[in-house]
């Protein structure tokens, strides 16, 4: 599965046969509106991702999407009844009623869909809806922590290559975006694309300076299509949230829209490549393609062509065992550094996006999709990973629970117990063939959904990167033990983070705030004491306050009672008793 490999960026491969007819491209994406040719400076501001959505086109797309959605529901019901029939051997009145309704549904659903299991129907419906939904399916195939395994496995079979756009349309986009004729920038551009994916397509080229490069071009009309489909997806996710809240449809659609809309911004991918190169400038054996800013725009990315081999290529059999082990160690160091030291990692890592270069060295390409881990999340994930490697499963469970988003009925103690038991099972079989460390982390995320605890999408992308690391490592070295190899690099991160120089540097970074606090400390202390004094100050107590009124009231009551007992004037004893009652009450108020 090639999630995110839009534009292919498989720089060392030749194009495969096309999946669909080329002529269908223009009708699918629509013509791209012409823009004036204006020469742009080398470094440009990234354009906004919001666009004007045409109401008629949105309505047409909405009707088509709603139709596929309803047919998917009806087909899913048919598959449900068929599965229930097989489990119960076709017995029961309720089953007969359900079978009758399923027969009516078959009048609407085509047999090539209705006779298939639900995961197959879902995959084919997504392919029918076009590139945006193919991309959605590829993203959903990663959420094994939320979706059933049968669904995620089937979605991995989605088409990774879509029909190519004619070169004349690509030429027009390049010239409009860069504001110059193609011949002024490139001495040669191959008309046949290296790859054509859902969002972009790539072509080899040679600059007028003689450098071999790769051009990644956003397909015509795809920007408006993605914006329109994102609006529809959010609407359908809002409805599905009430039907199947356990699968978190709104969360997954929001994640998809956020990551996919980033991929159409070529300037962002250029910035990603430059950030990776800066982070690894002290490791020359880890290579990222150089960006040619003069030939990069909003819809066109021009980057260095890397000549290398895919890690699963048979050509690597000629490497010695020592060279293979060095490559595995280098890849492990690079990925662990991305994840747990830099917090900026390749979020679409698979063998097609990794290359073995002469040296040997490792190259990373197709950098449009990246993940970011903030310091707090990176801290907890590092200790989770470290605890799994070292066998401290209680610490791993505690740190992983810290980053979970709690549901209404979250059971944190139950999650921690289940995770510790899962880790113990993994410890008894710690090679890749039986259970990998990355799969252990993925199983832990799946446990979270069972206990109503959900994790950010960056964690799923992180696990995908670790799965790729382990898979490539096992291809190169069948004896690869990820726990043993990881320990050395995790120790290095700990030594770096807790070295005296780093701690001193971090302390000096906060020195201005510390000095300001010291300067203001006397004022803060005096102000705090003044407020405390105001809060605790009480008026002086008068122990005999109110005693006079109490005595006078008691005297009046006693006098009135004596006069009443000995037949005194009634108006006099009544007045005295009234005074005796009112005076204490008034003093109490």
Highest-pLDDT range among 128-137, 313-322, 371-380, 547-556: 371-380
In 10 A of CB 517, how many CB atoms?
11
Which residue ranges make up each domain of the chain?
48-160+225-262, 310-497, 548-588
Q: What pLDDT was estimated at residue 173?
A: 94
Residue partners of 317: CB distance under 8 A and separation at least 6: none
Predicted confidence (pLDDT) at residue 217 exceeds the cutoff of 90: yes
pLDDT band at 90 (very low <50, low <70, confident <90, very high): low
Q: For residues 10, 11, 17 and 23, what is the CA-based torsion angle, rounded to 10 degrees? A: 90
| Selected residue with higher pLDDT from 162 and 333 | 333
Which residue blocks in 142-248 are alpha helix, DSSP H?
A: 149-155, 167-178, 222-243
CA distance 551 to 564: 20
Highest-pLDDT range among 114-123, 510-519, 532-541: 114-123
Per-residue pLDDT tens over the stretch 13-70: 433 333 333 333 333 333 444 433 434 444 444 444 444 456 666 777 778 888 888 8
Q: What pLDDT was estimated at residue 179?
A: 92
| Selected residue with higher pLDDT from 549 and 178 | 178
Spacing of C-alpha 37 from chain mean position: 37
Residue partners of 209: CB distance under 8 A and separation at least 6: none
Least Cα distance to 229 among 392, 68, 121, 367 occurs for 68
DSSP 328-369: HHHHHHHHHHIIIIISEEESS-SGGGEEEETTTEEEE---S-
Average pLDDT, stretch 148-160?
Answer: 78
Q: What pLDDT was estimated at residue 245?
A: 77
Question: Is residue 503 within 8 Å of residue 395, measured between CB atoms?
Answer: no
Average pLDDT, stretch 304-327?
Answer: 84
Percent of the chain with pLDDT strictly greater than 70:
73
Kind of pairing, strands 212-218 and 354-357? unpaired
pLDDT band at 456 (very low <50, low <70, confident <90, very high): confident
Residue partners of 66: CB distance under 8 A and separation at least 6: none
Question: Is residue 217 within 8 Å of residue 201, measured between CB atoms?
Answer: yes
In 10 A of CB 543, how many CB atoms?
6
CA distance 407 to 73: 27
In 10 A of CB 264, how many CB atoms?
23
**Which pTM was predicted?**
0.67
Average pLDDT, stretch 273-294?
Answer: 94
Q: What pLDDT was estimated at residue 441?
A: 82
Question: Is residue 269 within 8 Å of residue 368, measured between CB atoms?
Answer: yes
Give the chain's largest Cα–Cα span.
131
Q: What pLDDT was estimated at residue 134?
A: 81
SS3 label, residue 91? coil
Q: What pLDDT was estimated at residue 563?
A: 64
Q: What pLDDT was estimated at residue 27?
A: 35
Per-residue pLDDT tens over the stretch 161-216: 667 899 999 999 999 999 999 999 999 999 999 888 778 899 999 999 999 999 99
Predicted confidence (pLDDT) at residue 8 exceeds the cutoff of 50: no
Residue partners of 487: CB distance under 8 A and separation at least 6: 389, 390
Average pLDDT, stretch 368-395?
Answer: 85
Q: What is the mean pLDDT of the chain?
A: 77
Q: What pLDDT was estimated at residue 479?
A: 77
Average pLDDT, stretch 309-323?
Answer: 81
Predicted confidence (pLDDT) at residue 141 exceeds the cutoff of 70: yes
The number of residues in the chain equals: 589
Predicted confidence (pLDDT) at residue 570 exceeds the cutoff of 50: yes
Predicted confidence (pLDDT) at residue 119 exceeds the cutoff of 70: yes
Angle at 172 between CA 166 and CA 178, to 5 degrees: 135
Is the omega angle on the peptide bond into residue 291 within 30 degrees of 0, that is, cis?
no
| Selected residue with higher pLDDT from 524 and 166 | 166
Q: What pLDDT was estimated at residue 561?
A: 66
Q: For residues 22, 23, 28 and 29, what is the CA-based torsion angle, rounded to 10 degrees? A: 80
Q: What pLDDT was estimated at residue 571?
A: 67
CA distance 369 to 198: 14
Predicted confidence (pLDDT) at residue 149 exceeds the cutoff of 90: no
Predicted confidence (pLDDT) at residue 273 exceeds the cutoff of 70: yes
Predicted confidence (pLDDT) at residue 573 exceeds the cutoff of 70: no
Percent of the chain with pLDDT strictly greater than 90:
16
* Residue 487 in tokens: 């320990």
- The residue assigned the tokens 């059999």 is 317
Among 358-362, 399-403, 480-484, 521-525, where is mean pLDDT lowest?
521-525
Q: What pLDDT was estimated at residue 270?
A: 94
Kind of pairing, strands 405-406 and 186-189? unpaired
pLDDT band at 109 (very low <50, low <70, confident <90, very high): confident
In 10 A of CB 175, how many CB atoms?
17
Residue partners of 25: CB distance under 8 A and separation at least 6: 163, 164, 165, 166, 169, 219
Q: What pLDDT was estimated at residue 564?
A: 65
Q: What pLDDT was estimated at residue 266?
A: 92
Residues in a beta bridge with 354:
364
Average pLDDT, stretch 491-519?
Answer: 66
Least Cα distance to 146 among 450, 557, 519, 559 occurs for 450
Highest-pLDDT range among 173-187, 301-315, 320-334, 395-409: 173-187
Predicted confidence (pLDDT) at residue 568 exceeds the cutoff of 70: no
SS3 label, residue 453? strand
């Amino acid at each position: 599965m090639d999630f995110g490999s839009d534009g292919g960026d498989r720089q060392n491969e030749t194009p495969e046969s096309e999946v669909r007819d080329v002529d269908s491209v223009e009708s699918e994406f629509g013509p791209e509106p012409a823009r004036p040719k204006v020469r742009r400076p080398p470094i440009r501001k990234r354009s906004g991702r919001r666009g004007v959505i045409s109401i008629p086109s949105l309505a047409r797309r909405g009707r088509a999407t709603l139709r596929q959605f309803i047919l998917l529901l009806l087909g899913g019901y048919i598959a449900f009844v068929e599965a229930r029939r097989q489990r119960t051997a076709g017995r029961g009145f309720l089953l007969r009623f359900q079978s009758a309704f399923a027969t009516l549904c078959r009048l609407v659903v085509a047999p090539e869909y209705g006779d298939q299991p639900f995961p197959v129907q879902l995959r084919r419906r997504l392919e029918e809806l076009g590139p945006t939904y193919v991309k959605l399916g590829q993203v959903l195939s990663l959420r094994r922590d939320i979706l059933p395994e049968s669904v995620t496995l089937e979605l991995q079979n989605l088409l990774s290559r879509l029909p190519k756009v004619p070169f004349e349309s690509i030429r027009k986009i390049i010239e409009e975006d860069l504001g110059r004729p193609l011949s002024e920038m490139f001495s040669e551009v191959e008309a046949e694309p290296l790859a054509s994916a859902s969002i972009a397509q790539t072509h080899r080229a040679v600059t007028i300076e003689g450098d071999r490069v790769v051009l990644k071009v956003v397909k015509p009309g795809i920007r408006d299509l993605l914006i329109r489909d994102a609006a529809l997806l959010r609407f359908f996710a809002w409805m599905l949230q009430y039907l199947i809240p356990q699968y978190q449809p709104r969360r997954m659609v929001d994640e998809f829209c956020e990551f996919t809309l980033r991929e159409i911004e070529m300037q962002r991918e250029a910035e990603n490549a430059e950030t990776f190169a800066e982070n690894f400038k002290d490791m020359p054996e880890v290579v990222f393609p150089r960006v040619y800013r003069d030939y990069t725009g909003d819809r066109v990315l021009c980057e260095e062509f890397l000549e290398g081999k895919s890690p699963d290529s048979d050509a690597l059999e000629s490497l010695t065992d020592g060279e293979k082990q060095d490559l595995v160690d280098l890849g492990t160091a690079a990925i662990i550094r991305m994840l747990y030291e830099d917090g900026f990692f390749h979020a679409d890592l698979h063998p097609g996006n990794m290359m073995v270069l002469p040296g040997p060295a490792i190259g990373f390409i197709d950098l449009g999709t990246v993940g970011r881990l903030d310091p707090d999340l990176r801290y907890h994930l590092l200790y989770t990973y470290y605890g799994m490697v070292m066998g401290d499963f209680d610490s791993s469970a505690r740190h992983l629970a810290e980053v979970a988003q709690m549901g209404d009925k979250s059971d944190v103690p139950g999650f921690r117990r289940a995770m510790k038991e899962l880790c113990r099972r993994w410890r008894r079989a710690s090679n890749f063939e039986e259970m990998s460390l990355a799969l252990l982390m993925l199983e832990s995320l799946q446990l979270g959904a069972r206990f109503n605890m959900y994790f950010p999408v960056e964690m799923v992308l992180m696990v995908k990167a670790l799965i790729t690391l382990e898979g490539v490592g096992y291809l190169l070295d069948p004896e690869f033990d990820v726990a043993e190899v990881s320990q050395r690099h995790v120790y290095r991160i700990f030594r770096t983070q807790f070295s005296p120089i780093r701690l001193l540097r971090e302390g000096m970074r906060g020195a201005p705030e510390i000095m300001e606090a010291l300067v203001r400390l006397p004022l803060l202390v005096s102000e705090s004491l003044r407020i405390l004094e105001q809060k605790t100050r009480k008026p002086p107590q008068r122990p005999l306050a109110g005693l006079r009124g109490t005595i006078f009231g008691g005297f009046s009551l006693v006098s009135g009672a004596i006069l009443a007992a000995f037949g005194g004037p009634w108006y006099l004893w009544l007045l005295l008793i009234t005074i005796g009652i009112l005076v204490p009450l008034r003093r109490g108020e």
